[in-house]
Structure 1
Amino acid sequence: MANARELALQTLTDILIEGAYSNHALSEQIEKNELTVQDKNFMTELVYGTLQHEQLLNFYVTPFFKGKVKAWIRILIQMTLYQILFLDSVPEHAAISEAVTIAKKRGGQFNGKLVNAILREIMRTPLPSFETIKDQEERLAIETSHPLWLIKLWSKQYGYEKAVQMAKANNERVHVTIRVNGVKGTREELKQKLESEGITCTYGSLSEDALVVLKGNVIQTKAFEQGWFYVQDESSMLVGRALKPKHHSKVLDTCSAPGGKTTHLAEIMRQTGTVYAHDVYDHKIKLIEANVNRLGLTNVVATLQDAMTLNERYEAESFDAILVDAPCSGLGILRRHPEVKLTKKPSDLDEITSIQKQILNTVAPLLKPGGTLVYSTCTVNRKENDKMIEQFLGQHSDYELDSTLVKRLPDALSDQTQHGMVQLFPGDYQTDGFFIACLKRQG
């Protein structure tokens, strides 16, 4: 039987050193190793917990490193300290003993003794205090393990208190949320089906299509195999309702993979009309098709095409509705992908806004007069969101914001939905950070 801590260390090394995505790296290790359910859960906790608190753990352990230390040893020390500080179920002596054993196995007796010495010293010495950090933004960055530039960005755009809320929310536990396939049945019927298979779930707080999974592996159910639901955050589910295409519509989905919003649109149209889904990578097109087939949908056509060249494929005024779920910085999904905090750079934001602008300008002529265009991102950054829409409207006089968006979103968001746009912040409704803007093309 594989050792959960060893696999967690390898996964963290793949993510932090090799640049792997957390969900992919974790899934790969779990799939190729024999683990109990308890060990899978423990391994997942170690990986995501260490990633979420990496900057804080680094602040704590750095004073105890004398000279250059191998990257995997630093990660092992951080992972062990995470267990001691954050997991009540793990005794201190057990965490240290396991770390030393792993170090010996991976790097020999010398490294085992080194890890033992560092951890023993950390346990004997008071950890560094946040009080030594005078600047409040820098202190918040360390305490919540966020890059300082991001804390400064959020403070400038939304205020310091909102930055505090988002940073803390990004370190909270995340429940799996699922969207009922309306073609198969109702949310109530799905809930009953899952409960009969031992899954504990409750209704979502925002989306009328959402269930929140409280206990059990929902992917290993007959309901999943039979296409009764799609795993999706509640904030993302609101996009389909925002666009709300009529039956028999011709809909363009510009950046579709892995197919969550694509399939939701197809479900809303009740198998009528067609959703034309596109992505720039062939393996992602296959992923869209796999999800479409599992859900039993027949009104989706998935094709390989760069969103910035869709005007070469389709004639002007071809579509009743268009979704631009744009590539973005992903600053709204840090609680699900904590490694983004460690890899994203301010320059990345400027590069992505250029792509977003090009996609919008490319597809704008493809919408029929009177049609609806929804622009969405899973980020919290005004340059990618409301400022992007302001720029677009300044260049396209035939478009205007759709103030009726508020009628298609939950009542809880009525105060936040202003002039056809809504920004969800991490921590508001236990959802990801998300932005939606709804536009109409004038006839």
Structure 2
Amino acid sequence: MTTPDQNPRSLAVTALMRIQKGAYSNLQLNQTLDDAHLETRDANLLTNIVYGVIQHELTIDYQLKPFIKKPNKLQPWVKVLLETAIYQWQYLERVPKRAIFNETINIAKVRGHEGIRRFVTGVLHQMDRTGLPDPAEITDRTQRWSIQYSVPEWLITTLIDQRGAEKTEAILNVINQPANQSVRVNRTRLTVAEATAQLTADGYDVTPSAVSENGLVLHGKPANHSELFKRGDITIQDESAMLPAESMHVTANQEVLDACAAPGGKTVQLAENVDESAGGQVTALDIHQHKVRLITQNAKRMGLSDRVDALTLDARKVDDAFADGMFDQILVDAPCSGIGLVRRKPEIRYEKQLRDSEALAKIQLTILDAVANKVTINGIITYSTCTILNQENRDVVAAFLADHPGFISQRVQTANALKADRESDYLEIYPDDYGSDGFFISQFKRVR
């Protein structure tokens, strides 16, 4: 039997408790893995349990509720332990039920006292005898989908209202599936074909991205273990997140402003296309100094430091730093609710409310208002978010164009001609479209 600090199931309980108290799931999981030095099999189990419990939290709590008679007296870690047991039992087909129950009872014994061990044992045996309640039996559709897919009812109601029931169910069907591991090739270093060949030789299963021309989807080892990543020849980036910079079609001599840049993935993507000797440069802003350091580090790792000028500045205060008409293109990858990222950051769905989207939309418009005069005549502002709600996307576009008659909408065009038959100028990517994150991209051309 592994010791508690090496037991992946016990470590999962610890990590989930910290995430409940406000830690980011990806950062907490990485910290736990770094500290524990687990074998690959145990590390995978830990990762699976942590993300799985978060993804299916509403479903699991619905199934657990009948077995907890006095929830207010239950220690939080004991509830989390039982949640991990249900997740493993219901979602991990290769793990025998006997092993799950035995490990759960042992963790209760090690972490608690005899009374907790008896309680956990009793709950597990009662679940086994009676079975778990089936969410499919819930008659109300919104409530049923909320429990089945573990998504708050407000979000389901909003999506049905904006996208219709069929599209909403298609989105819900994919958001609890594992996110693709995708990378973008640094074209200043090598071609996509060269990167594919080297990654394949390094033991990865490599598939070209259907979304972005310089993207690859990897299966096998973590991408950051590859030599190409360590050398800065590739960077880890979701396929959808590659599209805003790609759609800008930046040329070598252009001055570009990345107004909300940290941690710098899109900054370095833009920088690959400019040439300092031709007058090209990318100016990257973030309001927090420690995040500006991340941009600088990212540019250095990718060998693009000479093309990037990273500054600590609130994008709403660009008047303090830049002359009007200074930039050929501006990217506003705006702060947003992140609802398009729920597959990659599952806790987002529980943390946000519709009022958050409405408040963020006001911030987005303020940033767009601030940078509008900084782009030259015939220059382009690209506005993007990683959410799928109208409040932060379509409504912001309509408001900006209504308030700025000197700008017109420009059709967003990507290298792979995504959704070429769409009626809108803006481009909307949903999690069920290509298996990538949800994203929104719109472009405004300054005509006077």
Q: TM-score range by the shorter chain?
A: over 0.9
1:262 corresponds to which of 253, 256, 267: 267
TM-score (norm 2): 0.96
Distance 1:131 1:200, change over 3 A: closer
Give the aligned partner of residue 59 of structure 1: 62
Alpha-carbon contact 2:206-2:218 (below 8 Å) kept = yes
1:178–1:233 contact (8 Å) kept in structure 2: yes
CA contact (8 A) 1:375 1:436 kept: yes
1:132 Cα deviation after fit: 4.0
Aligned position for 1:251: 256
Amino acid at match of 1:37: T
Matches within 5 A, 1:232-381: 232-269=237-274, 273-297=280-304, 298-381=306-389
CA distance in 2, matches of 1:107, 1:316: 64
How is 1:11-410 mapped onto 2 (pairs within 5 angstroms)? Answer: 11-16=15-20, 18-68=21-71, 69-269=74-274, 273-297=280-304, 298-403=306-411, 405-406=412-413, 408-410=414-416
5+ residue gaps in structure 1? none
Judged with a 3 Å threshold, the aligned counterparts in structure 2 of structure 1 residues 270 and 205 are, in CA distance, closer, same or farther, namely farther
Residues of 1 paired with 2:42 and 2:289: CA distance? 35
SS at match of 1:84: helix
Secondary structure of 2:218 counterpart? strand
Structure-1 separation of matches of 2:145 and 2:42: 33
* 1:383 counterpart SS class: helix
- 1:401·1:419 contact (CA, 8 Å) conserved in 2? no
Deviation at 1:268, TM superposition (A): 2.2
Secondary structure at 2:389 match in 1:
coil
Q: Could you list the per-position Cα deviations for residues 298-338 of structure 1 after superposition, in whole angstroms to 9, with x for gaps in the alignment? A: 20011111111112111111110000000001010000000
Deviates more, 1:366-375 or 1:129-138: 129-138
Q: Does 1:413 align with 2:419?
A: yes
Letter in 1 for 2:357: L
* Separation (CA, whole Å) in 2 of partners of 1:307 and 1:73: 45
CA displacement at 1:347 relative to structure 2:
2.0
Cα deviation code 1:247-285 (max 9, x no counterpart)? 111100010011111110011225651100011111111
Let me know the Cα RMSD of the aligned residues: 1.3
| Partner amino acid, structure 2, of 1:22 | S
TM-score norm. by structure 1 comes to: 0.97
Deviation at 1:196, TM superposition (A): 2.1
Aligned with 2:113: secondary structure? helix
Deviation string for 1:34-53 (max 9, x for gaps)? 21111111111111111111
CA distance in structure 2 between the partners assigned to 1:391 and 1:197 by the alignment: 49
AA of the residue aligned to 2:89? I
- Aligned residue for 1:105, secondary structure, equals helix
How much has 1:415 moved relative to structure 2? 2.1
**What amino acid does structure 1 have at the position aligned with 2:292?**
I
Render the CA deviation track for 1:10-66: whole Å, top value 9, x for unaligned.
1111112x1111100000101111211111111111111111111101110111101
The code of the aligned residue for 1:331 comes to I
CA apart distance, 1:100 = 1.1
Partner letter of residue 345 of structure 1?
Answer: Q
Contact 2:59 2:135 in 1 (8 A): no
Structure 2 portions without partners, runs of 5+: none
Amino acid at match of 1:35: L
Q: Tell me, in whole angstroms, the C-alpha distance in 2 between the residues paired with 1:331 and 1:131.
A: 25
CA distance in 2, matches of 1:141, 1:305: 40
* Distance in 2 separating the partners of 1:41 and 1:258: 26
Correspondence for 2:444: 439
Give per-residue Cα distances to partners, 1:85-112, cap 9 Å, x unaligned.
1111111011111111111211221111
What's the secondary structure of 1:277's corresponding residue?
Answer: strand
Q: Report the 3-state secondary structure (helix = DSSP H, G, I; strand = E; otherwise coil) of the residue aligned with 2:359.
A: helix
Residue 414 of structure 1 aligns with an amino acid whose one-letter code is A
- SS of the aligned residue for 1:411 comes to coil
Given the alignment of the two structures, is residue 3 of structure 1 paired with residue 7 of structure 2, yes or no? yes
1:329 counterpart SS class: coil
Task: Tell me which moved more, 128-137 or 104-113.
Answer: 128-137
Q: Deviations over 1:165-209 (max 9, x none)?
A: 111110112221000001001111111111222222111112110
Structure 1 CA distance for aligned equivalents of residues 139 and 379 of structure 2: 53
| Alpha-carbon separation, structure 1, partners of 2:135 and 2:39 | 39
Q: Which moved more, 1:182-191 or 1:130-139?
A: 130-139
Q: Distance in 2 between matches of 1:250 and 1:141?
A: 46
TM superposition shift of 1:130: 2.7
- The structure-2 alpha-carbon separation of the partners of 1:270 and 1:430, relative to structure 1 and needing over 3 Å to count, comes to farther
Q: Give the superposition deviation at 1:409.
A: 4.2
Check conservation: 1:242, 1:438, Cα contact below 8 A.
no
Summarize deviations over 1:211-250 as a string: whole Å, max 9, x none. Answer: 1011112201211111111111111111112112221111
Q: Which amino acid aligns with 1:83?
A: Q
Query: What SS does structure 1 have at the residue aligned with 2:381?
Result: strand
CA deviation map 1:350-371 (0-9, x unaligned): 2211111110111011110100
Distance in 2 (CA, whole Å) between partners of 1:32 and 1:277 is 33
Take 2:381 and 2:36, find their aligned partners in 1: how far apart are those partners? 45
CA spacing shift, 1:282–1:92, aligned 2, 3 Å = same
Helix, strand or coil for the counterpart of 2:256? strand
How many corresponding residue pairs? 439
AA in 1 matched with 2:204: I
Q: Which amino acid aligns with 1:221?
A: S
